Amino acid sequence: MLDGWIQVAAATPRLRVADCAYNASETLALMRQADEAGVRLAVFPELGLTGYTCGDLFLQESLLEGARQALETLREESRSLNLLTLVGLPLEWGGKLYNCAAALYRGEILGFVPKSHLPNYGEFYELRHFHPAPAGVADIPWGTGTVPFGRDLLFACREVPGFVVGVEICEDLWVPEPPSTRHALAGALILANLSASDETIGKDAYRRTLVTGQSARLCAAYIYADAGEGESTTDMVFAGHDLIAENGILLAESRPFTTGLTVGQVDVSRLQAERRRMNAYPPRRDAGYRQIPFSMPPTETPLTRPVDPAPFIPADAGQRAQRCEAILSMQAAGLAKRLEHSHAKTAVLGISGGLDSCLALLVTARAMDRLGRSRKDILAVTMPCFGTTVRTRGNAEILSQAVGATLRTVDIARAVELHFDDIGHDPQNRDVTYENSQARERTQILMDLANETNGLVVGTGDLSELALGWATYNGDHMSMYGVNASVPKTLIRHIVRYAADTVEDASLREVLLDILDTPVSPELLPAQDGEIAQRTEDIVGPYQLHDFFLYYCIRWGFAPRKIYRLAQAAFTGVYDDSTILHWLRTFYRRFFAQQFKRSCLPDGPKIGSVSLSPRGDWRMPSDAAASLWLAEAEALQPRNL
């Protein structure tokens, strides 16, 4: 439960129609199993203590009393379980019968939630026996006290702010205005549905769409527990189709015609972050609601939900190819519009033989194709200097020629040496001045060539570099349109690989594959024995880790402690805890220190859920203090799970 992760379960026990004692026993067995598995919320099917298919037996006093006794058994047995349980039963109150969910915790009945929408069509005839939920919340007698009764109840954990549960029952989800919508607007982040949905051809897909769609619309977790084995098959068959979804993602699903627990792990802090971020999500509307508190001290929840080490990249090869194609199309569309609007006669870009400029050139070629223009209007400029290797220079030239661009080479070594002379800098002092002078000289050349050809300078810097500030201010940091501005480094690699896999030109494929195999480097320090001497990831850290940190920091607003735990799970066997911590601290230091570079970025297209554009997704003062984040990151220790 710490960090917002809560283990939940949808449970389908075996049952016997109208055998309340047996049903209570089977329910209790799953409750105990759930508790042992660390589950903190278990949801059982609609009318599970009697069976949904009792028919006119619901009007029998003996069945109603049997249900009450079964609930009392579960209430008493729940004392020893650290588990909020929702079970279904018929309940008589005020001369009417209601189809209810009962919430049990630590020997108490916290409340009864009656069903609001009763189906009375097709195979369903619930209005024959039950009455729809009345408005408002009442306190009804139970034992020697009273229990809250009403559709507008929320069950809220005192110790975990996001652990707030709203309840609806089966048909409630299938109507135009489900009660869960009101529950979510009143503050529920977890929605539970006790259901008895019979199985017909195609209904499972529709049910799955309903559950995942409702969780997405409400930015909530949704637990759907379905009736199964043991219900009467006189006219219907029940498959026990249990579902757990979170914000549009299906986390867990049972196999049809099985019983037992379907367990998933929901992240309420992630849901809270998303609701905070979405200003279109309405503020709380809890008028008329009663919140029922319960005390469940948080414990460390082992992370069981999978954590993708590459959150920007689809794991499925087909989806990954579709994603790459879509990104290339978006980038090319953005650049084509800018070229057309500015009446640019050329697109000017520096080609280094590295990944970023490679992708920018591929995008620019697509943009020219989109505009029906010759690729000769692309001015690809190689600017070798002290650190340029034969390999990268050769790849830059081959790539430019293979896409049909106009290639120009400008050796900047003499100009940079003259500049060192002018400012009195010793070229043997290979400090930041030595490096950045080369980057700024290259940008100056590109800008001047753009002026000379009435062109537009296409930027090559990517999202990962922007996050870390790994760019020379007013050097490669600057352009007239940055096509890679919201593409992270790890994703760029896959896009270039996709281009290599789909291109027909063998020479182009070969050079793309060699660029993919080249270490990432700014090449600002002299080569050693003809090889790259300066490897970016040795200096700033692995982009695989930094892109992971970036995603969870910016997209979800998670604190360093939670990001660390996620990284431990994602990179088990890849990076040890000390390595993860070292680069996590580096990420926060660099991210805060380098905002001034992001505050004056050139335009560029947003392509994903994370962007650092100062005009779009990310508005941050350049002089914001990093102390809160760094203090938390510095306090973390290896294996501090």
pLDDT in tens, 571-585: 999 999 999 999 999
Whole-Å CA distances, 55 to 7, 17, 23, 47, 297: 35, 10, 17, 12, 42
> Which CA distances in Å does 445 have to 31, 396, 438, 500, 570?
71, 17, 11, 30, 43
Pick the closest to residue 11 from 27, 23, 35 (CA basis).
27
- Sorted by sequence, the CB contacts under 8 Å of residue 43 that are 6+ apart come out as 8, 9, 10, 11, 86, 192, 193, 194, 223, 224, 225
**Spatial contact of 349 and 457, defined as CB atoms under 8 Å apart:** yes
Rounded distance between C-alpha atoms, residue 519 and residue 338, angstroms: 32
Task: Extract the tokens encoding 280.
Answer: 């279109």
SS (H, E, C) 499-558: HHHHCCCHHHHHHHHHHHCCCCCCCCCCCECCECCCCHHHHCCCHHHHHHHHHHHHHCCC
Element housing 438 (H / E): helix 432-452
pLDDT of residue 144: 92
User: 336 and 372 in contact (C-beta within 8 Å)?
Assistant: no
Q: What confidence score (pLDDT) does residue 267 get?
A: 97
* Other beta carbons less than 10 A from residue 76's beta carbon: 11
Q: Of 3, 633, 558, whose CA–CA distance to 277 is shortest?
A: 558
Whole-number Å distance between alpha carbons of 41 and 35 = 9
Query: Would you say 115 and 132 are in contact if contact means Cβ atoms under 8 Å apart?
Result: yes
Q: Counting Cβ atoms within 10 Å, is residue 409 exposed (0-12), middle (13-18) or buried (19+)?
A: middle
On average, the pLDDT of the chain sits at 96
Determine the pLDDT at residue 641.
44
Residue whose C-alpha is closest to residue 483's, from 314, 610, 362, 354: 362
- Side-chain-facing half-sphere of 601: CA atoms under 13 Å: 34
Backbone phi, then psi, for 550, in 5-degree steps?
-60, -45
State what percent of residues in the chain have pLDDT above 70: 100
| Separation CA 226–CA 268 (nearest Å) | 23
**SS3 of 164, please?**
strand
Q: Are 514 and 507 in contact (CB under 8 A)?
A: no
The predicted-structure confidence for 357-395, as pLDDT tens digits, reads as follows 999 999 999 999 999 999 999 999 999 999 999 999 999
Q: Which band of pLDDT confidence, cut at 50, 70 and 90, is reported for residue 481?
A: very high
For 174-227, the pLDDT digits (tens) are 999 999 999 999 999 999 999 999 999 999 999 999 999 999 999 999 999 999
The alpha-helical segments, DSSP class H, found in 37-87 are: 61-77
Do the Cβ atoms of 225 and 10 come closer than 8 Å?
yes
What is the spatial order of strands in the sheet that 260-267 belongs to? 137-142, 145-150, 108-114, 96-105, 84-93, 41-43, 5-12, 260-267
Q: Is the pTM here over 0.85, yes or no? A: yes
Cα angle: 367, vertex 347, 351; to 5 degrees: 100
Q: What is the pLDDT of residue 531?
A: 80
Q: What span, in angstroms and rounded, lies between the C-alpha atoms of 503 and 456?
A: 26
Instruction: Look up residue 608 and give its amino acid.
Output: G
Task: Please state, in angstroms and as integers, the Cα–Cα distance from residue 406 to each residue in 107, 337, 482, 505, following that order.
Answer: 79, 21, 20, 18
Distance CA 251, CA 264 (A): 6
Model confidence over 512-551: pLDDT tens digits?
999 999 988 888 888 887 787 788 888 999 999 999 999 9
Q: Are 491 and 313 in contact (CB under 8 A)?
A: yes
In this predicted structure, which of 83-92, 274-283, 588-597 has the lowest mean pLDDT?
A: 274-283
Residue 251 identity: L
The structure tokens listed for 317 are 């090869």
- The helix or strand, by DSSP H or E, that contains position 198, with its residue range, turns out to be none
Do 327 and 607 contact (CB within 8 A), yes or no?
yes
Q: Report the C-alpha gap between 147 and 526 in whole angstroms.
A: 78
Any alpha helices (H) in 233-354, and if so which ranges?
268-277, 317-342
pLDDT in tens, 275-308: 999 989 999 898 899 999 999 998 888 899 999 9
Q: In 14-80, where do the E strands start and end?
A: 41-43
| Structural tokens at position 603 | 């335009």
Backbone angles phi, psi at 407, to 5 degrees: -100, 135
Instruction: Name the token pair of 553.
Output: 């920091």
Separation between Cα atoms, residue 320 and residue 310, nearest integer Å:
12
Rounded to the nearest 5 percent, the helix, strand and coil shares of the chain are 40, 20, 40
Amino acid at 493: R
As separate numbers, helices (DSSP H) first and strands (DSSP E) second, the chain gives 19, 20
Q: How many CA atoms lie within 13 A of 619 on its CB side?
A: 2
pLDDT in tens, 255-268: 999 999 999 999 99
- DSSP label of 238: B
In tens, the pLDDT along 428-458 reads 999 999 999 999 999 999 999 999 999 999 9
Cα–Cα distances (Å) from 140 to 148, 292, 301, 454, 521, in that order, read 6, 15, 36, 80, 71
Q: Fill in the DSSP letter of residue 411.
A: -
Q: What domains, with CATH codes, occur in the chain?
A: 2-294 (3.60.110.10), 317-635 (3.40.50.620)
Cβ count within 10 A of residue 307: 16
Q: How many CA atoms lie within 13 A of 245 on its CB side?
A: 26
Q: Is the pLDDT of residue 45 over 80?
A: yes
Are 57 and 18 in contact, with CB atoms under 8 Å apart? Answer: yes
The amino acid occupying position 448 is D
Largest CA distance in the chain: 101
Strands, sheet with 378-382, edge to edge from the N-terminal-most edge strand: 406-409, 378-382, 346-350, 455-459, 481-482
Structure tokens at 399: 């790539």
CA 296 to chain centre: 27
Mean pLDDT, residues 606-610 taken together: 94
| Residues known to be catalytic | 46, 115, 170
Kindly state the percentage of the chain with pLDDT values over 90.
93
Q: What are residue 195's phi and psi, to 5 degrees?
A: -130, 155
CB proximity list for 129: less than 8 A, separation 6 or greater: 56, 58, 59, 90, 97
SS3 label, residue 458: strand
pLDDT over threshold 80, residue 639: no
